[in-house]
A and B are shown apart, each in its own frame.
Chain A
Amino acid sequence: MSSSNPDSELLLETEDLVKTFGPLRAVNGLNLQVGEGEMVGLVGPDGAGKTTTMRLLCGALTLTSGKIRVAGYDIPRHVEQARENIGYLAQRFSLYGDLSVSENLDFFGEVFGVSPEERKVRSQELLAFAGLEKFASRRARALSGGMQKKLGLATALVHRPKVMLLDEPTGGVDPVARQEFWHLLVGLLRGGSAVLVSTPYMDEAMRFNRVVFMNKGRALIQGAPRQLIQRLQGRILELAAEPQIAARRLAESDPDVEDVHAFGDRLHLRVRENTAIASRLPGMLAASGIRLFHLRPVEPTLEDVFIQLLESDTNGS
């Protein structure tokens, strides 16, 4: 994606947002900003506070302290006006399985107070947008998982919201359907929406304008994906060797190796900065009778960054 426009209007803003449930600080001082035409990704481990954040932003949960402003309206003070501007797709959203695709769109239009004439027009637009025209009369329960997600997105758009909150919209969806869903999201951005989206897929997160890594209710770091993976440049080595298990044990025993994981028939090692391991390891492998095919640096991925950030956050606190 091209970089976001710094002069764009801020449509979503939080300041020191906190939400506690008893002793648990589910969201713990979060500062977020999403501008017009910008797609920001919320990623983090289970329990990091991503879903709670989404629920706070759409006014489904009441904040404990801090500030939320959506499309210029404060939540909770002007939650009604704010909601008119929000499209929220929950992780487990409900469609009416017995209703057809177009009946679902009509129903959600009515819920959001869209007039009957406008609903007709809007339904047609959204069917076209989501590529569901052919399935307009099919019952929602007979749609594939990917198509249900598209319909879910369409129902969240009936009232033309400026701000989209999408909680793992592509979870459990196959790779081709995920690519199709992405086309829909980019279409939203062209319309000037601000989109906050959480995802477990790190390859998807590479396409966000900005990624916010959350852990324990806080933003650990945020930035453009390319900028984030720079943090680990040169520190991910790919090792192909046989037998792999022995190579893994040997690599894990080296103090400069921070993490090892299998990647198909190769191993990916995360190593310390400025280590000489690349010159040391081949000899170590040979001495143990392990056959080395190659050892070379590879480009880090956001998944590598994710794992490294989590480890340092856990060890450091």
Chain B
Amino acid sequence: MEADSSTIISTRDLTKRFGDFTAVDGVTFEVQRGEVVGYLGPNGSGKTTTIRMLCGLLRPTSGSAQVVGLDIAKHADQIKGQIGYMSQKFALYDDLTVRENLEFYAGVYDVQESQIKSRLDEIYHLAGLEERINARTVTLSGGWRQRLALGCALVHHPPLLFLDEPTSGVDPVARREFWDLIYQLADTGTTVFVTTHYMDEAEHCGRVGFMLDGQLLAFDTPHDLKKHHLKGAAWTLGLDPLLEGVEILSKTPGIVQARLNGDQAQAIIVPGEWTPETLASMLTSRGLSVGEIKTVEPTLEDVFTLLAHG
């Protein structure tokens, strides 16, 4: 199969075993240039191992993948120069300043000497680091460190960027700003492949993949993931006590699943099985105090909960 030039990642039965443990199990998908792809799954489901193979850092046990037109098994070294990778535990040099860290990575990625200064200026501007150029990295807060790490991953102007839980451990404001940055990159044609445990972030992605136990269970737009996997309407319910309420709902026929959503329960109701009135009276008879019941739009967290439970 000839890969289309608009295809930037293409995998076929990609598999990685560690001893008798299969971390990634026959994963096949394609990503087109300019897409923002979210890659979801429980801890330990194989997301990071997939990324590490695509970055040329781990050799697959079997299967194949082409990244930026290169075979990951044959051209791992060339791939590294054409992608940006921000790992979960990114390495910044605390004793170096912001500029020195960027210069260091520019050296690692063989950015031409004559281009370093203009590229660094672009990155300061993009990441909003202008006022911190000479700050020592150790003095930066989590949100700024993360922007700097992103800058380091972008210093060689890669067309494809892998971000592995980039917003883990940063506050909500920094998270929003980070996603604004991702959109700016996508607008200029950079392809972004990002893992996250924040389902609201996944809603921002053009397409979302979902892994479980090494397998890619689904790969689609947020809209179609909800449409194809959630066989019912989403309702929120104010319940007291809340946890007992969620447990009762989880075991109730005609309810696909129930979970916590903020201080309420959120359930997927099979069409025609319940009305708000019949459900409220059932719950009341089980000793719960029932507040408002509302139809809401389902979220990717509903899909995640469903797929993760198999």
Inter-subunit contact A264/B222 (CB<8 Å): yes
Cα A145 to Cα B197 with chains together (Å): 12
> Is the CB of B263 closer than 8 A to any CB of chain A?
yes
Is A200's CB under 8 angstroms from B169's CB?
Answer: yes
Which residues of the partner chain B approach A310 to less than 8 Å between Cβ atoms?
Answer: 173
Q: Is the CB of B263 within 8 A of A146?
A: no
- Closest chain A CB from B264 CB (angstroms): 8
- Report yes or no: A144 in contact with B44, Cβ–Cβ below 8 A: yes
In the complex, B262 has a CB within 8 A of chain A? yes
- Say yes or no for A37: interface residue by CB 8 A criterion: no
Taking the complex as formed, is A255 at the interface, i.e. its CB lies under 8 A from any CB of chain B? no
User: Per-residue CB proximity of B269-310 to A under 8 Å, as 1/0?
Assistant: 000000000000000000000000000000001001100110
Q: Does A207 sit within 8 A of B, measured CB to CB?
A: yes
Contact B42 A179 (CB under 8 A): no
Are B204 and A46 neighbours in the complex by a CB distance under 8 Å? no
**Once the chains bind, are B165 and A172 in contact (CB under 8 Å)?**
yes
For A144, what are the chain B residues with a Cβ–Cβ distance below 8 Å? Answer: 42-44
B197 lies within 8 A of A225 (CB)? no
Indicate if the CB atoms of A46 and B141 lie closer than 8 Å.
yes
Interchain CB contact under 8 A, A44 and B197: no
Chain A residues near B204 (CB, 8 Å)? 262, 264
| In contact, B174 and A206 (Cβ under 8 angstroms) | no
The answer to whether A262 and B262 touch across the interface, beta carbons within 8 angstroms, is no
Task: Tell which of B43, B198, B243 touches A177, judged by Cβ atoms closer than 8 Å.
Answer: B43
CA distance A303 to B165 in the complex (A): 20
* A182 interfacial contact with B, CB 8 Å: yes
| B189 interface contact, C-beta 8 A | no
Q: Does A175 contact B (CB under 8 A)?
A: yes
Q: Is A263 an interface residue (CB 8 A)?
A: yes
* Cβ–Cβ < 8 Å partners of B17 in chain A: none
Interface centre among A200, A262, A301 (most CB of B within 10 A): A200
- Whether A174 lies near B43 (C-beta < 8 A) is yes
Tell whether, in the assembled complex, residue A174 and residue B41 are in contact, meaning their CB atoms are under 8 Å apart: yes
Query: Does A290 sit within 8 A of B, measured CB to CB?
Result: no
* Complex contact A203–B42 (CB within 8 A): no
Partner of B305, one of A44, A176, A245: A176
Complex CA gap A178/B168 in Å reads 14
Question: Which of B198, B240, B260, B301 has the most chain A CB within a 10 Å cutoff?
Answer: B260
B308: chain A residues at CB < 8 Å are 174-176
Q: Mark B74-98, 1 if CB is under 8 A from A, else 0.
A: 0000000000000010000000000
Q: How far is the CB of B194 from chain A (nearest CB, A)?
A: 15
Smallest Cβ-Cβ distance to A171: which chain B residue: B169
Name B41's closest neighbour in chain A (CB-CB). A174
A178-216 interface code vs B (CB 8 A; 1 in, 0 out): 110011001000000000000011110011000000000
Is A253's CB within 8 Å of the partner chain B?
Answer: no
Chain B residues lying within 8 Å of A202, measured Cβ to Cβ, are 172
Given A171-B169, A206-B262, A226-B263, A183 contacting B243 (CB threshold 8 A): yes
Residue of A146, A176, A307 ringed by the most chain B CB atoms within 10 A:
A176
Name the interface size band of chain A.
35 or more
Q: How far does the Cβ of A142 sit from chain B's closest Cβ, in whole Å?
A: 9
Interface residues on B, range: 35 or more
Cβ B263 vs Cβ A207 within 8 A:
yes
Within B186-230, the residues touching A (CB, 8 Å) are 187, 197-200, 203-204, 222
Q: Decide: A203 and B203 in contact? CB cutoff 8 A.
A: no
Q: Does B183 contact A (CB under 8 A)?
A: yes
| Bound-complex Cα distance A203 to B262 (A) | 4
Q: Give CA–CA (A263, B198) in the complex, Å.
A: 12
> Is B174 touching A45 in the complex (CB atoms < 8 A)?
yes
Q: For B169, list chain A residues within 8 Å (CB).
A: 91, 168, 171-172, 200
Contact at A261–B260, with CB atoms within 8 Å? no
Write the B117-150 contact mask toward A (1 if CB under 8 angstroms, else 0).
Answer: 0000000000000000000000001110000000
Give the distance in Å from the alpha carbon of A206 to the alpha carbon of B260 in the complex.
10
- Give B197's nearest chain A residue, CB to CB: A174
A120-147 interface (Cβ within 8 A of B): 144-146
User: Please, which residues of chain A bring their CB within 8 A of the CB of B165?
Assistant: 172
B29 within 8 A of A: no
Chain B residues in 8 Å Cβ range of A206: 262-263
Q: Which residue of B lies closest to A226 (CB)?
A: B263
Instruction: Say whether B171 faces chain A, with CB atoms less than 8 Å apart.
Output: yes
Neighbour of B176 across the interface among A176, A245, A261, CB < 8 A:
A261
CB distance from A267 to the nearest CB of B (A): 12
Q: How many Å lie between the Cα of A47 and that of B309 in the bound state?
A: 37
Contacts of A225 in B (CB 8 A): 262-263
Assess whether B203 is in contact with A176, with CB atoms less than 8 Å apart.
Answer: no
Q: Is the CB of A46 within 8 A of B142?
A: yes
Check: A2 CB closer than 8 A to any chain B CB: yes
- Closest-CB distance, B159 to chain A (whole angstroms): 21
- CB pair A203 B261 closer than 8 Å: yes
- Asked whether any CB of chain A lies closer than 8 Å to the CB of B241, the reply is yes
Q: Which residue of chain B has its CB nearest to the CB of A224?
A: B263
Interface centre among A46, A146, A206, A261 (most CB of B within 10 A): A46
Q: How far is the CA of A179 from the CA of B304 in the complex (A)?
A: 12
B305 with A145: CB separation less than 8 A: no
Task: Return 26 A-B CB contacts under 8 Å, by A number.
Answer: A1-B263, A2-B241, A45-B141, A46-B171, A146-B43, A172-B88, A172-B169, A174-B43, A175-B197, A175-B304, A175-B308, A177-B43, A178-B197, A179-B259, A200-B175, A206-B263, A207-B260, A226-B263, A261-B176, A263-B203, A264-B204, A301-B262, A303-B172, A306-B171, A307-B173, A307-B176
**New A-B contacts (7) at CB < 8 Å, excluding given A2-B240, A203-B261, A307-B173:** A1-B242, A144-B43, A174-B43, A179-B260, A186-B243, A262-B179, A264-B203
- A-B pairs, top 9 by smallest CB distance, nearest first, are A206-B262, A264-B203, A145-B43, A144-B44, A46-B141, A46-B142, A45-B171, A144-B43, A206-B263
